[in-house]
């Protein structure tokens, strides 16, 4: 019983971190149809900035998170302008190569600036120890990660379903040329969603740093994980991404607890089975 509970909490925390990082990728891929393998690099940049802010500048954790999110967005803007704009609508192979190139560059630069060692982001006092739930106690940072995931899901739901930006975004995802003909400035929608996506990646990189530790190969190690989540959930679908994260987080965590010697075997087996039968993802659009 205790194991089941531990697995469930770990799976939930891991799944939520995956969700926070991947959801931006899912939205931008549904919108701009770019296979973006560099998304994890932005999460990593966020993690590095937060680590630097807390450890070297002595900022409070909350400020460090904000700084990481905004600084990552500022770094991403010229990258989007100069590089991503060239590959919108290009064949997948081109997009893969360009974004792998960006990832490699970010890894090399991160190592040059921060060194090859693992960087921690010290948590504030109240997030450190365990929290007593009465019948069990859980590590506070896991609960925090789960809360962040839930908050992001709710916030995005509100943004997309209840605001005028959301209407424009949904219209552009469904049919960009029609949305443009109706007067939606799709370029602005693209740029705003890209910024939100990068910001969320950075946020996820910071709050998930205890589970996905920050080091230069982060961008390469999880590059595939994020892409897989989007593909399994269906590009552009928020419920799909949430479902995929919880499902894959559950499979991965269970596998690690019960059959650690198999590594990620079951994770990728599940991916193959799901994607083979749902090539557009679990909740992807039919077309």
Partner 1 sequence: MTAVNEIPLATSAPTGHGHLKRDLIGLAIISLFAVLGYLVFPNNLALLTRIIAILLLVLSLDLVTGYCGVATLGHAALFGSGAYAAGIAAVHFGITEPITMVVIGAAAGAVAGLLSGAIILRGHGLSQLVLSIAIIHLFHEAANKASTYTGGSDGLSGIAPDAVFGLFQFDLWGRTAYIFGIVLLLVVFMLLRQLVQSPFGMLCRGIKEDPVRISAMGASVRGTLLKMYTISGAVAGVGGALTAISTQVVGLDSLSFTMSAEALVMLVLGGTGSLYGAFIGTFVFMFFEDFVSAANPFHWLTLVGALLIAVVLCAPRGIYGTVVERLPSLWRRRS
- Contact residues toward partner 1 (CB under 8 A) are 29, 35, 83, 86-87, 91-94, 96-98, 100-109, 111-112, 116, 216, 220, 224, 227-228, 230-232, 235, 261-265, 267-269, 271-272, 275-276, 279-281
Q: How far is the CB of 270 from partner 1 (least distance, A)?
A: 9
8 A C-beta contact, residue 38 and residue 103 = yes
Rounded Cα distance between 174 and 31, Å, is 8
CB of 93 to partner 1, least distance (A): 5
| Cβ proximity of 62 and 277 under 8 Å | no
Judged by beta carbon, residue 54 or residue 228, the one nearer partner 1 is 228
Residue 166 has a CB neighbour count (10 Å cut-off) of 15
Please return the burial class of 159, using the count of CB atoms within 10 Å of its CB with bins 0-12, 13-18 and 19+.
middle
CA–CA distance, 199 with 71 (Å, rounded to integer): 9
CB of 44 to partner 1, least distance (A): 13
Closest CB 282 distance from partner 1, rounded Å: 12
CB closer to partner 1, 86 vs 128: 86
- Minimum Å distance from CB 215 to partner 1? 12
Nearer to partner 1, 50 or 107 (CB): 107
Nearer to partner 1, 30 or 127 (CB): 30
- The CB-of-224 to partner 1 minimum distance in angstroms stands at 5
Q: How far apart are the first and last CA of the chain?
A: 43
Looking at beta carbons only, is 125 or 261 nearer to partner 1? 261
Based on CB atoms, which residue is closest to partner 1, 96 or 143?
96
CA–CA separation, 108 vs 104, rounded Å?
Answer: 6
How many angstroms separate the most distant Cα atoms in the chain? 58
What is the Cα–Cα distance from 154 to 152, expressed in whole angstroms? 5
């Amino acid at each position: 019983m205790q194991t089941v509970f531990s697995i469930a909490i770990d799976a939930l925390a891991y799944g939520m971190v995956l969700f926070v990082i991947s959801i931006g990728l899912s939205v931008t891929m549904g919108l701009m149809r770019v296979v973006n393998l560099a998304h994890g690099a932005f999460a990593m940049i966020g993690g590095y900035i937060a680590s630097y802010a807390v450890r070297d500048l002595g900022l409070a954790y909350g400020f460090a998170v904000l700084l990481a999110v905004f600084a990552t967005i500022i770094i991403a803007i010229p990258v989007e302008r100069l590089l991503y704009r060239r590959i919108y609508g290009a064949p997948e192979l081109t997009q893969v190569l360009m974004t792998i190139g960006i990832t490699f560059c970010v890894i090399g630069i991160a190592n040059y600036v921060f060194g090859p060692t693992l960087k921690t982001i010290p948590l504030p006092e109240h997030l450190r120890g365990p929290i007593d739930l009465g019948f069990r106690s859980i590590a506070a940072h896991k609960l925090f990660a789960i809360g962040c995931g839930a908050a992001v899901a709710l916030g995005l739901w509100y943004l997309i379903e209840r605001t005028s930006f959301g209407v424009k975004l949904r219209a552009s995802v469904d049919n960009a040329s029609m949305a443009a003909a109706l007067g939606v400035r799709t370029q602005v929608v693209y740029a705003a969603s890209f910024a939100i996506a990068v910001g969320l990646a950075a946020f996820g990189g910071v709050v998930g740093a205890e589970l996905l530790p920050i080091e230069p190969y982060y961008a390469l190690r999880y590059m595939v994980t994020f892409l897989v989540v989007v593909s399994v959930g269906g590009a552009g679908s928020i419920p799909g991404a949430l479902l995929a994260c919880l499902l894959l987080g559950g499979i991965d965590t269970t596998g690690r607890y019960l059959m650690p010697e198999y590594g990620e075997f079951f994770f990728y087996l599940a991916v193959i089975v799901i994607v083979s039968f749902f090539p557009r993802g679990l909740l992807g659009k039919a077309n």
